[in-house]
Every structure is written in structure tokens, then in C-alpha cells.
Amino acid sequence: MSIITLASKRRSPGLAAKQRKQALRTLAFMSPWLIGFAVFFAYPLISTVYFSFMHYDGFKAPTWSGTKNWTYVFEHYPYFWPALRNTLWLVVVMVTLRVVFGLGVGLLITKIKTGAGVFRTLFYLPYLAPPVAATMAFAFLLNPGTGPVNSILEKVGIPAPGWFNDPTWSKPALTLLALWGIGDLMVIFMAALLDVPQEQYEAAELDGASAWQRFRYVTLPNISPIVMFAVVTGVIQTMQYYTQPLIAGKVASGVIQGAGTQFEPGYPEKSTLTLPQLVYNLGFQRFDYGSACVVALVLFVLSMVFTAFLMRRRGGLNLAGD
């Protein structure tokens, strides 16, 4: 780098040409993304804002409808508030449990001395199961008729819940599925835990700190940025939560899929509705593209608020260039 700068300084008339060449080079390397950004991000985003003020069913030309779509979604669309409430429930319960459980499993794996490699692989595998397949598996495992979980529960004498068929148990069932696929958080926490300086534990032990005190005053402060990261990415993932609740609801309700089949989303009783499902329901089942865009924008604002958290220095992604 320095040699190049020296050379260009000697021939100062060439400096501008050099800079132009470098700008062109950057442009060339960035070009795939620049096109992608324009065509698959900026344009559709602006277009979504535009359609949110239009009445459009995909057949007749769009007509201006002012804020009608907005008032429809917020005041009359029966699925909006249930979906938002479900998202809040999932953020509070599912994200919290995932972080706590992920940290617990991460801690456990750092303490296991015999067969650690086997345990790690077994704990990690469910994270890889394709969401549709994993949800299908849990819909079977938890089905109240012939499912193994309820068979075992009843043998032991514990009252078996209706899981995906019962509105009070459908979200806990989804939480169970989410806890099963904890592998990503386990790996992140494991790496963080192994990075905690060993001397700090030794010093704490010398001071007579109990196991809990060591965790509270040594481990937690050291890994708190990772905990923050796990919470924020967990919230963003919850905003996008789509495939699992959709499949669980469809399988439990027994709706047969095929081209053009209609189904009531959120079975049972709207308890598995999430915001992304509303975009599908409004846009591709009701052909009300304008209102679908309103929900899309709500989803956009919520996701970006939490993404902004991620870009902060502490507890955020490492964005430092060099």
C-alpha cells in the first residue's frame, strides 16, 4: 500500500487518475450487491410503501385509497392484534427460555469430560433439522391421538395436554420445538465460555466464592455481550417466525394442502398467528395487496428497530474494519 502511494505522489498528475481507477475497481467488486440492493431491497421497499396507500387486487389497476388499508389493518382485520400478542408472548417466553436453555447447555458441554465430542454432536443435530420436517416430527410426537409423548405421559399418570390442538398449549409446544433446536446458541455460548480467563475463576475460588457466586460474578459479566447478542437476534428471529407455526397449525387442523387451497391461519383459535403469516393471508389468500403491505411495513419497522440494537458497539456485531 505504502509503495503504491509513494509512486503516485511522485507523479502527482497521475493521482486523480489513480483515484478514479480505484473508485472504478471498488464499483466493479461491489457491483453484484449494488444491483441486488437496488432491485431486491430499495425498489421493493419503496414499492411496498406505495402499495400500502393503494387499493390493489392484482387484476384491476391500483387506485389511491389513502389511509384506508391502515385503518383496516389496525381496526378491522381480525388477525392483526392476535398476531402481535402472539409475537409478544414468543418474545417474552420463547426467546428468554431459549437463551437460558442455550446458556445452560453451553455450560454443561464445557463441564462434560467424558465423551464430550459425542454429546456436542448430539446436542447440535436438532438445529440442523429442516423446519418443515422438524415441525412435522413434533406434530407427530405431540399429537394427542397416537403421539408417543402423550402415550408416555398417560402411562406415568400425568394429564396429557392437547399441544398443537389446544390454544393454550400450542405456543408452549412451539417453544418446546424451538428449545430442541438450540444448537446455534449452544455453540456461541460454548465459545464465549471457553474465552473467560481461567485466572478469574481461580482468584474467585481462592476468595472462597461458591459455584453460584463464580457464575454470577465471573462468568456472567464476561459473557454478557454474547447474552445480549443472543437476545437481540432471538427477537429478530421471532419477528420472522413463519414456517413452524404455519406448518404446526396446518397439520394439527388437518387441512390438506394443494394449489389454491384455503385455510384459516393460526389454528387453533388464532393462537399460532405471527405477523409474516398475515402478509401471506392478506396478499395471497385475500388478494388485498395494499393491506398486506401495511403489515409488511409494521414488520419492517419492528425488525429494523432491533437490528439497530445489533449495530451498537457493545453486544453488537463486530463491525470494526481494521
Partner 1 sequence: MAQVLDKPVQVHAPVSPAERTARRRSLFEWIAIHSLGVAAALFFTLPFVFVFLTSLMSDSQALSRDLIPHTWEWANYKKVFDTPGFLTWWKNTLIYAGLGTVLTVVSSIPVAYALAKFRFRGRSLALMLVISMMMLPPQVIIIPMYLFWAKQLDLSGTLWPLIIPMAFGDAFSIFLLRQFLLTIPNEYVDAAKVDGCGDLRTLLKVVIPMAKPGIAAVALFQFFYAWNDYFGPQIYASENPGAWTLSYGLESFKGAHHTDWNLTMAATVLVMAPVILVFFFAQKAFVEGVTLTGVKG
Site for partner 1 in 61-100 (CB under 8 A): none
**Segment contacting partner 1 by CB under 8 A, of 84-92, 163-171, 212-220, 258-266:** 258-266
**Segment contacting partner 1 by CB under 8 A, of 90-98, 158-166, 214-222, 237-245:** 237-245
Binding flag, residue 311, partner 1 (CB under 8 A) = yes
In which element (H, E) is residue 63 found?
strand 63-64
**Segment contacting partner 1 by CB under 8 A, of 10-18, 66-74, 82-90, 307-315:** 307-315
Rank residues 18 and 120 by Cβ distance to partner 1 and give the closer one.
120
Binding flag, residue 203, partner 1 (CB under 8 A) = no
Binding flag, residue 220, partner 1 (CB under 8 A) = no
CB of 302 to partner 1, least distance (A): 9
List the grid coordinates of 67.
Answer: 389511509
Gyration radius (Cα) of the chain, Å? 26
The Cα–Cα gap between 241 and 246 comes to 9
Which of 82, 280, 285, 286 lies at the binding interface for partner 1 (CB under 8 A)? 280
220-223: long-range contacts, CB 8 A cutoff, minimum separation 24? 222/192, 222/195, 222/196, 222/197, 223/103, 223/189, 223/192, 223/193, 223/196
Residues 9-48 that bind partner 1 (CB under 8 A): 22-23, 25-26, 28-30, 32-33, 35-37, 39-41, 43-45, 47-48
Which of 70, 80, 164, 229 lies at the binding interface for partner 1 (CB under 8 A)? 229
The Cα–Cα gap between 309 and 322 comes to 22
Binding flag, residue 206, partner 1 (CB under 8 A) = no
Q: What angle do CA 134, 253, 127 make, to 5 degrees?
A: 10
The Cα–Cα gap between 9 and 308 comes to 41
Binding flag, residue 297, partner 1 (CB under 8 A) = yes
Are the CB atoms for 223 and 193 separated by under 8 Å?
Answer: yes
CB of 200 to partner 1, least distance (A): 14
Burial class (CB in 10 A: 0-12, 13-18, 19+), 88: exposed
The answer for residues whose C-beta is within 8 angstroms of residue 266's C-beta and 6 or more apart is: 79, 82, 83, 86, 245, 249, 272, 273, 277
Name 54's bridge partners: 64
**Segment contacting partner 1 by CB under 8 A, of 7-15, 77-85, 162-170, 246-254:** 246-254
The Cα–Cα gap between 202 and 21 comes to 56
CB of 209 to partner 1, least distance (A): 15
Count interface residues toward partner 1 (CB under 8 A): 116
CB of 175 to partner 1, least distance (A): 13
Could you give the string, one character per residue 110-149, with x where binding to partner 1 holds by CB under 8 A and - elsewhere? xxxxxxxx-xxxxxxxx-xxxxxxx-xxx-xx-x--x-x-
